[in-house]
Amino acid sequence: MIRIGMLGFGTVGRSVYDLLQAHTERFPDMQIVSVAVRQITEQRMTLYPTVQFTTNPDPIVTASDIDVVIEVMGGQTETYRYLRRALHSGKHVITANKDLIATYGETLQKIASAHQLALLYGASVAGGIPILDALTNLLPGDETMQVGGIINGTSNFILTQMSDAAMNYDDALALAQRMGIAEANPVNDVAGFDARYKLAILAKTAFGANVVTTQIPTQGIQEINATVLDEAKRLGYVIKPLAVARRLGKS
């Protein structure tokens, strides 16, 4: 039996839990034994009566009877400390935390390798497309010279509504928030920070490049309006939120 501890139980955490519970025939040897949350609410306990909630992540990352830690709590510094302790305690780690991996991924990977543990973060970039796995498992003779694409769905959705449905930016953002596509505070997505973290991870995976995220030129979509979109259309273009990294030379 693979015993799992989870850090976080928000939208993503609940989805992970529900997925494992809905497909027990596919994952018969997996059991979530403890979940760390910031607050234990009556609603949470009512909806998930069999879940053992705690507000203290420390027992999860150090417990001898937990094999895998799934991190879905977000954040960087505090989360890094917990995952570092988990790895030092002999636990495999799974995370979709792009901010964390872009900043501390190399350090965490060294710890995981030293302890012969897995650090899995494929869902941190284009979760529905196994791009990191594909780049990691290239044939020895292959060489990647460029990676890029639309890697932030929120910005892409907003621009599509502005272009195809003639919505203004504020209305398109409000629609994305009502649909759960955009966060209440959407700055990471619309300012390009989310894509910047993901691109740093892609560059590291594709080229072995240690990129400082703040040094990646970044432009958000907040200044895009109907005039800009119309001018692009007149010239035969469509504006999309692309993230691109190129390898220059052999270094």
Segment 145-185, tens digit of pLDDT: 999 999 999 999 999 999 999 999 999 999 999 998 998 89
pLDDT 10s digits, 213-235: 999 999 999 999 999 999 999 99
Model pLDDT, residue 143: 85
Instruction: Give mean pLDDT, residues 61-71.
Output: 95
pLDDT confidence band for 104 (50 / 70 / 90): very high
DSSP 3-state of 217: coil
**Mean pLDDT over residues 110-120, rounded?**
97
Identify the band that residue 139 occupies on the pLDDT scale cut at 50, 70 and 90.
Answer: low
Long-range Cβ pairs for the range 126-134 (8 Å, 24+): 126/151, 126/198, 127/96, 131/202, 132/201, 132/202, 132/205
Active site residue 110: no
Catalytic residue among 198, 204, 233, 250: 198
With a cut of 70, say whether residue 38 has pLDDT above it.
Answer: yes
Q: What percent of the chain has pLDDT over 90?
A: 73
